Amino acid sequence: MTKHIFVTGGVVSSLGKGLTSASIGMLLEQRGLSVRMQKLDPYINVDPGTMSPYQHGEVYVLDDGSETDLDLGHYERFTNSPLNRHSNYTTGQIYLSVINKERRGEFLGQTVQVIPHITNEIKAALAMPAGEGVDVVITEIGGTAGDIESQPFLEAIRQFSLDAGKENCLYIHLTLVPYLKAAAELKTKPTQQSVGILRQIGIQPDILICRTERSLSRDDRAKIALFCNVPVEAVIEEKDKDFSVYEVPLSLVEHGLDELIVRKLGLKAGPLKLEQWRDLLHRLRNPEHELSIAVVGKYSEHRDAYKSIYEALDHAGVAHRAQILIQRIHSEAVEREGPERLLAGVDGILVPGGFGERGIEGKVDAVRFARQRGIPFFGICLGMQCAVAEFARNVMGLERANSTEFDKNNPHPVICLLDEQRTITDKGGTMRLGAQPARLTPDSRAATCYGTLDISERHRHRYEFNNVYRPKFTEHGMQVAGTSPDGILVEVVEIPSHPWFVGVQYHPEFKSQPTRPHPLFAGFVGAALKRHPARTEPGGGDGGA
Ligand code: GLN
């Protein structure tokens, strides 16, 4: 019998519900349990694939091609829970499914309503990841208790325990306990009110996790326990972590969260194995080198727009015992101020993915700077496409060469629409998406990094390398280092004469874990480190000049 944990949030958004849920998943896995992670999002978009990164941060892509919320990235970095399209549902998806059923006549004769039709659909979604061999499903409910949009989800998780049995469900509420400087004390009232909202709709949280900047005293916890109707041991402190998100699980263990969950759900769990995780934190805390890596993006001012890229760089840094100082550089700033001013001191340049014309020329300038100066370069998706355009313009002499995404009538369309995309008009879920196999060229840099020739990586694009130009690129020194297994779609390009210049059409950042960094990120950071062997002390070296 699979057990269910529901994680809700209160008081404010951005409390780190995703990280907390991922941490719980990781702890239960490290106690030998089989865990599945799931997120329900209250917005009406069917998936976040159509949303701007400014609205919602990164769109996280799964193997099966689902375009999902970035919290699923935390789940995959912290746990080994296999994720698929049942791992992320939105209000839009739930309603779409109910409305389609109504049109097909499946509710013939009935008035279709939020309760029971929408809530039944949500309950079916909650049950999806459960089954044979799965010990626990952890479902995070997006939004905050009290939001109009979250109501059907909260109602559904309340009903769920009636069907599945109260003993098989656990409600965890993440809340904020703010510190008021003027009063010089922590305030528990917002937590009481948030739990009050949940209790009004029939949910009594079993465990409260309190985000706070100061430690809770025994009295604070006792007060919260009394007003929120939970035992004091179920009031768990989650103090802000300035250093690394990977500290969160360990601090929850300190407050006994894993044991509490195991006991409350009657799980048959083994002892907690934390050696690997402790080693990770030790490495993070004790770097031997310091590297400056520029990520030249077009959404750089948004903290979460390149979340998985920043994380993957950190993972590769851990592998090389290097602290990565990530410079978030806006490609429009490169256009305005020139690459010299913004990129002169860096050890590596990464140009990530994106859509639309704005900021493209700055990305192309950054590629040129990396190529000409021999600075390790890593281009991802749009970043690879910009590298191809830059090479065509400045090495092959194809003036103004570009992607047809930005210039439909370009005389040198070195990047063009994928054939399969030509007849597609709908925007949602219609790109080339998800895991696709690729074959690497023997002895290429990529093949050396992966240590194998057959790979599978996740994609999210409509445009591709234009094969008409392939011989010309090879002739001038940009090699195709990986293609689809039939040899047709270009997946990897490299400049062998450059210290490290690799562009990939896919998104390797989605498959990097802190204890298992992605081979290309590891290769890139390794090359950046080689460029600055003098830097052996964090904060020392040549100061990035
Ligand atoms: N806009 C480009 C395309 O659609 C690149 C996409 C991306 O970077 N994810 O092909």
416 alpha carbon to ligand 1 midpoint, in Å? 11
Q: Tokens at residue 215, please?
A: 């430690």
505 alpha carbon to ligand 1 midpoint, in Å? 8
Looking at residue 425, its pLDDT comes to 86
State whether the beta carbon of 283 lies less than 6 angstroms from ligand 1.
no
What's the Cα-to-Cα distance from 130 to each of 2, 22, 38, 67, 454, rounded to whole Å? 6, 17, 11, 21, 32
What's the residue count for the chain?
545
One-character DSSP codes across 483-533: E-TTS-SEEEEE-TTSSSEEEESS-GGGG-BTTB--HHHHHHHHHHHHH-T
Cis peptide before 82 (omega within 30 of 0): no
| Alpha helix stretches (DSSP H) within 320-373 | 331-337, 339-343, 360-373
Nearest CA to 518 out of 451, 441, 432 is that of: 451
Nearest CA to 213 out of 235, 187, 234, 192 is that of: 187
Q: For ligand 1, what atom is nearest to the CA of residue 353?
A: 8
124 alpha carbon to ligand 1 midpoint, in Å? 34
State whether the beta carbon of 381 lies less than 6 angstroms from ligand 1.
yes
Q: What are the residues whose beta carbons fall under 8 Å from the beta carbon of 224, sequence distance 6 or more?
A: 177, 188, 191, 192, 208, 210, 216, 230, 235
Name which residue sits closest to atom 3 of ligand 1, judged by CA: 461
Q: For ligand 1, what atom is nearest to the CA of residue 431?
A: 4
For residue 435, the Cα-to-chain-centroid distance in whole angstroms is 16
| Alpha helix stretches (DSSP H) within 128-241 | 151-164, 189-200, 218-228
Is the Cβ–Cβ distance between 8 and 191 less than 8 Å?
Answer: no
Is the Cβ–Cβ distance between 490 and 513 less than 8 Å?
Answer: no
Q: For ligand 1, what atom is nearest to the CA of residue 381?
A: 8
Cβ burial, residue 484 (10 Å; 0-12/13-18/19+): middle
Of all helices (H) and strands (E), which one includes residue 124?
helix 119-127
Q: Tokens at residue 217, please?
A: 């005293």
Helix (H, G, I), strand (E, B) or coil at 349: strand
Nearest CA to 20 out of 8, 2, 36 is that of: 8
pLDDT of the chain, 545 residues: tens digit per residue = 999 999 999 988 888 999 999 999 999 999 999 999 999 999 999 988 888 888 889 999 999 999 999 999 999 999 999 999 999 999 999 999 999 999 999 999 999 999 999 999 999 999 999 999 999 999 999 999 989 999 999 999 999 999 999 999 999 999 999 999 998 999 999 999 999 999 999 999 999 999 999 999 999 999 999 999 999 999 999 998 878 899 999 999 999 999 999 999 999 999 999 999 999 999 999 999 999 999 999 998 888 999 999 999 999 999 999 999 999 999 999 999 999 999 999 999 999 999 999 999 999 999 999 999 999 999 999 999 999 999 999 999 999 999 999 999 999 999 999 888 888 888 888 899 999 999 999 999 999 999 999 999 999 999 999 999 999 999 999 999 999 999 999 999 999 999 999 999 999 999 999 999 999 999 999 999 998 855 444 443 333 33
Tokens 């009594």 locate to: 204
Looking at residue 533, its pLDDT comes to 59
Hey, which residues are catalytic here? 381, 507, 509
Residues 505 and 35: their CA atoms lie apart, in Å, by 32
For residue 194, the Cα-to-chain-centroid distance in whole angstroms is 28
Name which residue sits closest to atom 6 of ligand 1, judged by CA: 461
405 alpha carbon to ligand 1 midpoint, in Å? 9
For residue 28, the Cα-to-chain-centroid distance in whole angstroms is 21
Name which residue sits closest to atom 9 of ligand 1, judged by CA: 353
Is the Cβ–Cβ distance between 383 and 349 less than 8 Å?
Answer: no
Nearest CA to 204 out of 181, 225, 221 is that of: 225
Starting from the edge strand earliest in sequence, which strands make up the sheet with 402-403, in order? 402-403, 413-417, 463-465
142 alpha carbon to ligand 1 midpoint, in Å? 27
Residues 79 and 350: their CA atoms lie apart, in Å, by 27
Cis peptide before 48 (omega within 30 of 0): no
Q: Tokens at residue 358, please?
A: 């704005």
Helix (H, G, I), strand (E, B) or coil at 106: coil
Looking at residue 14, its pLDDT comes to 81
Is the Cβ–Cβ distance between 259 and 238 less than 8 Å?
Answer: no
Name which residue sits closest to atom 8 of ligand 1, judged by CA: 353
Amino acid identity at 370: A
The number of CA neighbours under 13 Å toward the Cβ of 168 is: 18
Nearest CA to 8 out of 40, 50, 56 is that of: 40
Is the Cβ–Cβ distance between 280 and 319 less than 8 Å?
Answer: no
State whether the beta carbon of 330 lies less than 6 angstroms from ligand 1.
no
For residue 504, the Cα-to-chain-centroid distance in whole angstroms is 18
Q: Which residues pair with 324 in a beta bridge?
A: 291
The distance in angstroms from the start CA to the end CA of the chain is 60
Nearest CA to 80 out of 22, 21, 142, 129 is that of: 22
156 alpha carbon to ligand 1 midpoint, in Å? 37
Residues 381 and 505: their CA atoms lie apart, in Å, by 4
Residues 254 and 275: their CA atoms lie apart, in Å, by 15
Looking at residue 240, its pLDDT comes to 87
Q: For ligand 1, what atom is nearest to the CA of residue 383?
A: 8
State whether the beta carbon of 509 lies less than 6 angstroms from ligand 1.
no
For ligand 1, mutation pick of 58, 385, 457 (most atoms within 8 Å of CB): 385
Looking at residue 384, its pLDDT comes to 98
460 alpha carbon to ligand 1 midpoint, in Å? 7
Q: Report pTM.
A: 0.93
Looking at residue 542, its pLDDT comes to 39
Helix axis angle for 307-319 and 519-531, nearest 10°, is: 60
Q: Tokens at residue 328, please?
A: 């978030």
Helix (H, G, I), strand (E, B) or coil at 46: coil
Residues 122 and 106: their CA atoms lie apart, in Å, by 17
For ligand 1, mutation pick of 461, 465, 490, 504 (most atoms within 8 Å of CB): 461
Q: Tokens at residue 264, please?
A: 């409350």
For residue 279, the Cα-to-chain-centroid distance in whole angstroms is 23
State whether the beta carbon of 460 lies less than 6 angstroms from ligand 1.
yes
